[in-house]
Amino acid sequence: MPTNVAVIRFPGTNCEFDVVEVVQQLGAQAQIVFHDEPSLGSADAVVIAGGFAHGDYLRPGAIARFSPVMEAVASFAKSGGPVVGICNGFQVLTEAHLLPGALQKNAGLKFRCGFTDLRVESSNSVLTSAVTPGDVLSIPINHFEGNYTCSAETLAELQGEDRILFRYVSNPNGSVDDIAGICNDGRNVVGLMPHPERACHELLGSSDGVALMQSLLNAAGLN
Amino acid sequence: MIFDVVVEVRLRAGIADPQGATIERALPALGFDGVAGVSVGKSIRFSLQAADETAAHAAVTDLCHRFLTNPVIEDSEISLHPAEVAAN
């Protein structure tokens, strides 16, 4: 059976085809799974793509987390399956309590859109196994609510357990401890604000995202 | 009974409020001096059917905790009172 990635789409998701494109480019299959599906089918990995699920009304991710598909995502995550939330997907994962903390409005109220340098802090996760701590990746961001916030206890936990996967070299949004991406304690659920799927070809300005997407596919059983 | 409910959602103490800070910074340019501590929240209004005020309060508290607020960054204040019945 070919490796199969379920790409979740809510009303308002807009990055799902970018993810599908990269997954196929790397030799795996991708299927888009709509928010009202109760099952993920035969998925080996899940990506919650970016966008503005349910218009970001109330709070980003607040409505999406109650979608039928999120129960399937939660049980897939609980069984150890690799799950990555990108941008709005990260917001959905925090609202669904699959990752700790919350994403607040950017400091300075600026919508941030452009390439940013990310420093890899840990290679111990489903999204970072093919990169090395200290690597600096050029990956675009595109968000208004990417200011990662959590309690002091949660921050100490993330730091102590090596669960901060990426830090911004130059903090664009006010995130605590320059955090750009984290994982859960099982290291199989990852959330990040930057968009690796938009940095997977030189024609797009950077191919630094390939190693991250390749890590995910390796975790899903490709190769 | 039907209750009119207002939930005021505000950022928890210690959570940065970029909207409040931006408004506060703009005020002197408009000639408003002496304004401090600006914070921005949301107010959510709805009506609710419940057996009595205690049940209504419990239902709204649960709704706030699970949906209307994100307890990591937000607090809420609930006010509710029996809806006025329109005279026929």
Q: Is residue B88 part of a domain?
A: no
Q: What is the ipTM of this complex?
A: 0.81
Q: Say whether pTM exceeds 0.90.
A: yes
Chain A residues touching residue B70 (CB < 8 angstroms)? 59, 62, 95, 102
Region at A73 (left for phi over 0; alpha for psi -120 to 50; beta for the rest): alpha
Lowest mean pLDDT among A33-37, A176-180, A209-213, B13-17: B13-17
> How many Cα neighbours within 13 Å face the side chain of A136?
6
Number of domains in chain B: 1
Chain A residues touching residue B72 (CB < 8 angstroms)? 94, 100-102, 149-151
Q: Is residue B36 part of a domain?
A: yes
The CATH number of residue A137's host domain is 3.40.50.880
**What range defines the domain where residue A209 resides?**
4-219
Q: What is the mean pLDDT of residues B57-74?
A: 96
Nearest CA to CA, how far is B42 from chain A (Å)? 9
pLDDT of residue B88 exceeding 60 = no
Share of chain B above pLDDT 70, in %: 97
Clarify whether A97 is annotated catalytic.
no
Note whether B22 contacts A: Cβ–Cβ < 8 A: yes
Q: Is residue B52 part of a domain?
A: yes
Q: What is the mean pLDDT of residues A9-36?
A: 97
Q: DSSP assignment of chain B, as one string? A: -EEEEEEEEEEPTTS--HHHHHHHHHGGGGT--S-------EEEEEEEE-SSHHHHHHHHHHHIIIII--TTTEEEEEEEEEPPPPP-
In sign, the C-alpha dihedral spanning A31, A36, A40, A41 is: negative
Note whether B40 contacts A: Cβ–Cβ < 8 A: no
Mutate to test the interface with A, among B24, B63, B73, B74 (most CBs of A within 10 A): B73
Exposure class string for A182-207: b at 16+ Cβ within 10 A, else e: bbbeebbbbbbbbbbbbbbeeeeebe
Nearest to B22 among A101, A109, A151 (CB): A109
Share of chain A above pLDDT 90, in %: 96
The CATH number of residue B59's host domain is 3.30.1280.10
Residue carrying structure tokens 């897939």: A76
Q: Do B72 and A149 touch (CB under 8 A)?
A: yes
3 state SS of A33:
strand
Chain A residues touching residue B19 (CB < 8 angstroms)? 105, 109
Closest CA to A154 of A145, A142, A163, A165: A163
Q: Do B19 and A104 touch (CB under 8 A)?
A: no
Nearest CA to CA, how far is B86 from chain A (Å)? 31
Convert the pLDDT of each residue in A85-97 to its tens digit: 999 999 999 999 9
Chain A residues touching residue B15 (CB < 8 angstroms)? 104, 149
Convert the pLDDT of each residue in B19-28 to its tens digit: 999 999 999 9
Of A35, A54, A143, A195, the active-site residue reads: A195
The C-alpha atoms of residue A33 and residue A101 are separated, in whole angstroms, by 26
Q: Is residue B74 part of a domain?
A: yes
The C-alpha atoms of residue A190 and residue A131 are separated, in whole angstroms, by 15
Number of domains in chain A: 1
| Per-residue pLDDT, A43 | 96
Q: Do A107 and B18 touch (CB under 8 A)?
A: yes
Q: What is the mean pLDDT of residues A181-202?
A: 97
Work out the mean pLDDT of chain B and round it to a whole number.
93
| Per-residue pLDDT, B84 | 82
Q: Which residues pair with A51 in a beta bridge?
A: A13
Convert the pLDDT of each residue in A119-136 to its tens digit: 999 999 999 999 999 999
pLDDT of residue A32 exceeding 70 = yes
Whether residue A44 contacts residue A81, with contact meaning beta carbons closer than 8 Å, is answered with yes
Q: Do B67 and A58 touch (CB under 8 A)?
A: yes
| Per-residue pLDDT, B16 | 87
| Per-residue pLDDT, B67 | 95
Residues with Cβ within 8 Å of residue A43, at least 6 apart in sequence: A4, A5, A6, A31, A33, A76, A81
Pairing of strands A112-120, B42-49: unpaired
Residues with Cβ within 8 Å of residue A217, at least 6 apart in sequence: A3, A5, A23, A26, A27, A28, A45, A223
Q: Do B72 and A151 touch (CB under 8 A)?
A: yes
**What range defines the domain where residue B50 resides?**
2-82
Nearest to A109 among B19, B67, B73 (CB): B19
Of A15, A87, A150, A183, the active-site residue reads: A87
